[in-house]
């Protein structure tokens, strides 16, 4: 019940296209859903995040869509660029009162081709 399932495992998109990465969860107690971008050999960088009382959040070319009833959320990267080529992780936060921690999805390797 603590898992976050992420798909696809890898994704190839042409420059200018839309990249879509999906995540699903079971635990309705998750209260915060961030997306991270990670380049090889680097730490993850927070991209964008959403709380479950919001259905969509947009920051620049990045949009999170959140479907609470379906327990799914997705990241859309508009006008994808070669510089977006990286691994993307969704995550979900669980706050138990005494602890608050993230569970990560398995990651999606995005390659944006010219």
Partner 1 sequence: GAVVSQHPSWVICKSGTSVKIECRSLDFQATTMFWYRQFPKQSLMLMATSNEGSKATYEQGVEKDKFLINHASLTLSTLTVTSAHPEDSSFYICSARWYGRSYEQYFGPGTRLTVT
Instruction: Summarize as ranges the residues that interact with partner 1 (CB under 8 A).
Output: 31-32, 34, 36, 41-46, 49, 51, 89, 93, 95, 99-107, 109
- Tell the smallest beta-carbon distance from residue 100 to partner 1 (Å): 7
Q: Phi first, then psi: what are they for 82, rounded to 5°?
A: -55, -35
- Tell the smallest beta-carbon distance from residue 92 to partner 1 (Å): 11
Are 13 and 112 in contact by the 8 Å Cβ rule? The answer is: yes
The rounded distance, in Å, linking the Cα atoms of 71 and 23 is: 9
Of 43 and 114, the one with the shorter C-beta distance to partner 1 is: 43
Radius of gyration of the chain (CA): 14
Of 32 and 57, the one with the shorter C-beta distance to partner 1 is: 32
């Amino acid at each position: 019940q603590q898992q976050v399932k992420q798909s696809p495992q890898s994704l190839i998109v042409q420059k200018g296209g839309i990249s879509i990465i999906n995540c699903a969860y079971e635990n309705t107690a998750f209260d915060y859903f961030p997306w991270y971008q990670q380049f090889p050999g680097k730490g993850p960088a927070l991209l964008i995040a959403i709380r479950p009382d919001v259905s969509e959040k947009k920051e620049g070319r990045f949009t999170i869509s959140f479907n609470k009833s379906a327990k799914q959320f997705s990241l859309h990267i508009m006008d994808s660029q070669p510089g977006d080529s990286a691994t993307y992780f969704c995550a979900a936060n669980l706050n138990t009162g005494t602890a608050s921690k993230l569970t990560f999805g398995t990651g999606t390797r995005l390659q944006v081709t010219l």
